[in-house]
Chain A
């Protein structure tokens, strides 16, 4: 069974024909070619498949695509404007907050959502918020530092 859903995907209105039992992960990755959306656990534990749905980070491996009908979806491909990186991405580079970077898109998106909710999070709040994003390379200390830096830069910019 298939169904057509309408979404705003990285700022673009799209009509997508999806299997009713397809996950959002499958649709974005295999259907839309967005390779930054990655699967590790497939059961909502690791955060590698994180995307923002109406600004909220969700595990796209758990969400059935038809349920995203009418939603605004952001993947890391939609964060930067051309060559201009999002401040969180900049901070990840400046702090070198990754090794293999498989987890990075999910980490960046969770951080973007966190900073939208709480512009000045403590390290404990960051760790708590990102507890569902795993990094097997163990880049965690640098990720924490990058998110703190990004928060500061974004606060300064919005002043």
Chain B
């Protein structure tokens, strides 16, 4: 990595390290009830605390002229501070700004709030029952208090469903009629948390009616737009600067604390920094808990005739990007299989729980858990080997997916075969070791889309000192974006990549990019950077050709020089060439777009301009006396197209496997009447050195000339499903709910024995 020394010496500065002279510190007062009207807020005691400068309540917010008090990336349903009602335990009721973090926290604890409690609902199915308490009163023409932002999403007005995404392909009734066998099962996943080690941190400053926010966010341009919306400003009057992040995994997608920091800065006229405590992280954003029912029609020969899916995504109190999660999960749940008749109803549902949003794997981990567990159930019911059953049905190049799009560059079968081979699938798939220990293997395939349509722009420049600079709004969250983009520019310009500077995203300086999500950056931004760098190369060649009086074709770029091929003495440095133009810096621009989109009522169209493809395979050992699952070997095979940087690519795969292990075996947010029971790292476990599989291996599959495929997420979703399939094989019973805790495994064993007895 080009910033490796900064990182090992601790010199790297994250957004939590940002500071300004005269800066205040923020703290939040949070709701202790899951649903209620705010009857009274008493801030008197808080205002007495030495160092406190302001306490802002919903009442105050309402009284500020020209402000739009609610925001949201897809539905404007989230107040900056609760206006009259709280919707989950953790909802922000008031904000405090003080001279020190301690004073802010102390004051926040002294704000007293009286609530009139309202009935609350926590389960997405309960929330859709007639008469369930409604969280929001969405209306067709007046989505909550803001402007319509229904980008192709379909709220079910008058219910808690904030998006219903459908796929309709073929005729499922006919498909089931043709089937020899119809299976149905329901699968569940819990809410989990990202636990980025660096918390959310933002610093806001108002200067001459202009707002600047330094924030660790994956979405600088969306954040700019949303802040401009709240404060009624043109976007040009808002600037978002993004320092590197100490991890995100989706939790820093879309504004989360920036509106609150900006509001306090607006009210106090001083810079305000807001850093969340760990317990607040746990109630700020989660991964959607899901309930998915799949019905599958099968022929005896292993063909699939129909698939019907009902999926419920528990998005908590505010939609955030839940509607899109339900959409991506809606087609993700179909799986990369040849199925002529498909019907999917995927619903994003409000409940009185913390909001859920983007999470590494973006809906596909939950989708794969359901879909790939179902594939094993089907293989077992047909008496087929799970590998063989999948291979018979996997989509091949040129075949059509459930969305109607034709797939190209398809490698599902190859990924799966390589993963299976890596763990020795051919050998025994199940072995009893005596004393209750059983070893078994499991497989899963993954198909994941990339944000479509979307757009990335980049600039590449060289100055009079010969310094090459990449201007890009792709954020650095540990994936090595700076390094990979530097490499792509360096390659085109013939300079060592270590000498390329990559400017941190800054909406004033770096050009537009949709966002750093969905493993799109190396491909989308990579192409934009490459284009800009190639244009700059052309310009340098032309300038040198003129001065050296040769044809551009006779020139080559080597180590920051343009020289005549075969006559290295005849050369000009990049710096000399820039100087000759009379400019300070020569800059070229590149842009890359992908096109597509889906009809929300039929799910037909282009879901993704290309597909992330992979497979996972694991061998586990289950202690059937205790229910404990140990992962002996986990392997991920991922289609990369072309690998730009093997180091960072490998780290993405390994990191995904480790993430998958946590999700498979122990990560789960536990709520009691909407109150989170485990909001700390001693009760909510993430994988440590001692939780790793004994062996972790992976493949990156390349094809000459192929498109670069992002790798940030692909290896994660198949891991929990492969572990589930291995455990089911080991114990001869299926656990349908993640995580695979000893309690759940034991319960499944007992249920199996109960049935037999």
Contacts and interface: CB of A to CB of B under 8 A. Distances in A.
A130 B479 CA distance: 23
A100 B477 contact: yes
Interface stretch (B8-16, B52-60, B307-315): B8-16
Interface in A94-108: 96, 98-105, 108
B687 interface: yes
B277 A42 contact: yes
B8 A141 contact: no
Contacts of A48: 197
A102 B14 contact: yes
B681 A45 contact: yes
A63 interface: no
B433 interface: no
Contacts of B686: 134, 136
A116 interface: no
Given A41-B278, A42-B277, A138 B9 contact: no
Given A38-B246, A45-B682, A105-B10, A99 B651 contact: yes
B478 A127 contact: no
Contacts of B14: 102
Interface string A68-111: 00000001110110000100010011001011111111001000
Interface string B195-209: 111110000000000
B682 A101 contact: no
Q: How large is the interface on B (under 10, 10 to 19, 20 to 34, 35 or more residues)?
A: 35 or more
Contacts of A79: 9
A131 B690 CA distance: 6
A24 to B, nearest CB: 16
A16 to B, nearest CB: 17
A12 interface: no
A47 B654 CA distance: 21
Interface stretch (B83-91, B114-122, B602-610, B656-664): B656-664
Interface string A5-46: 000000000000000000000000000001110101111011
Contacts of B244: 100
Interface in A103-153: 103-105, 108, 126-128, 130-142, 144
A35 B10 contact: yes
B10 A76 contact: yes
Contacts of A45: 680-682
**Chain A interface residue bracket vs B:** 35 or more
A127 B197 contact: no
Nearest to B196: A136
B13 A136 contact: no
Given A42-B277, A43-B680, A140-B689, A35 B246 contact: no
A35 B10 CA distance: 7
Nearest to B680: A43
B696 interface: yes
B1 interface: yes
Contacts of B654: 138-142
A77 B1 CA distance: 20
A21 to B, nearest CB: 9
Interface in B648-674: 648, 651, 654-659
Given A128-B690, A131-B690, A139-B651, A100 B4 contact: no
B478 A101 contact: yes
A102 B13 CA distance: 10
A38 B680 contact: no
B10 A100 contact: no
Given A102-B246, A141-B696, A93 B8 contact: yes
Most buried by A among B195, B477, B680, B689: B689
B195 A136 contact: yes
Contacts of B692: 127, 140-141
Contacts of A137: 247, 478, 651, 655
A108 B197 contact: no
Contacts of B655: 99, 137-139
Given A45-B682, A134-B688, A100 B9 contact: no
Given A36-B10, A77-B9, A131 B689 contact: yes
A36 B11 CA distance: 7
A30 B197 CA distance: 18
Contact of B9 (A89, A103, A131): A89
B246 A100 contact: yes
B249 interface: yes
Contacts of B246: 38, 100-102
Given A127-B689, A138-B687, A35 B17 contact: yes
A89 B5 CA distance: 8
B756 interface: no
Contacts of A98: 7-8, 478
Interface in B676-727: 680-682, 686-690, 692, 696
B191 interface: no
B220 interface: no
Given A41-B681, A131-B690, A138-B655, A99 B198 contact: no
Contacts of B278: 40-42
A96 B10 contact: no
Contacts of B681: 40-41, 43, 45-46, 134
A134 B13 contact: no
Nearest to B697: A141
Contacts of B656: 138
> Which of A92, A99, A103 is most buried by chain B, counting CB atoms within 10 A of its CB?
A99
Nearest to B682: A45
B63 interface: no
Given A40-B197, A40-B278, A100 B8 contact: no
Given A40-B278, A93-B4, A138-B687, A99 B480 contact: yes
A105 B8 CA distance: 6
A29 to B, nearest CB: 9
A43 to B, nearest CB: 6
Contact of B5 (A85, A141, A144): A85
A104 B197 contact: no
A132 B689 CA distance: 8
Contacts of A130: 689
Contact of A76 (B9, B249, B682, B696): B9
A67 to B, nearest CB: 19
Contacts of A140: 654, 658, 687, 689, 692
A36 to B, nearest CB: 2
A41 B680 contact: yes
A48 to B, nearest CB: 6
Contacts of B199: 40
A35 to B, nearest CB: 5
Given A99-B651, A100-B245, A102-B198, A89 B689 contact: no
Interface in B236-287: 244-247, 249, 277-278
A134 B690 CA distance: 10
B201 to A, nearest CB: 11
A5 to B, nearest CB: 19
Contacts of B648: 96, 99
Which 3 pairs of residues, A with B, have the shortest CB-CB distance?
A36-B10, A100-B478, A138-B658
27 contacts: A35-B13, A38-B246, A41-B682, A46-B197, A46-B681, A75-B10, A85-B8, A89-B9, A92-B8, A100-B198, A100-B245, A100-B478, A101-B478, A102-B246, A102-B478, A104-B10, A108-B8, A127-B689, A133-B688, A134-B681, A134-B687, A136-B194, A136-B195, A138-B654, A138-B656, A138-B659, A138-B687
Given A93-B4, A104-B8, A139-B655, 11 more contacts: A34-B10, A40-B278, A96-B1, A96-B648, A99-B480, A100-B196, A102-B247, A131-B690, A135-B197, A136-B196, A138-B687
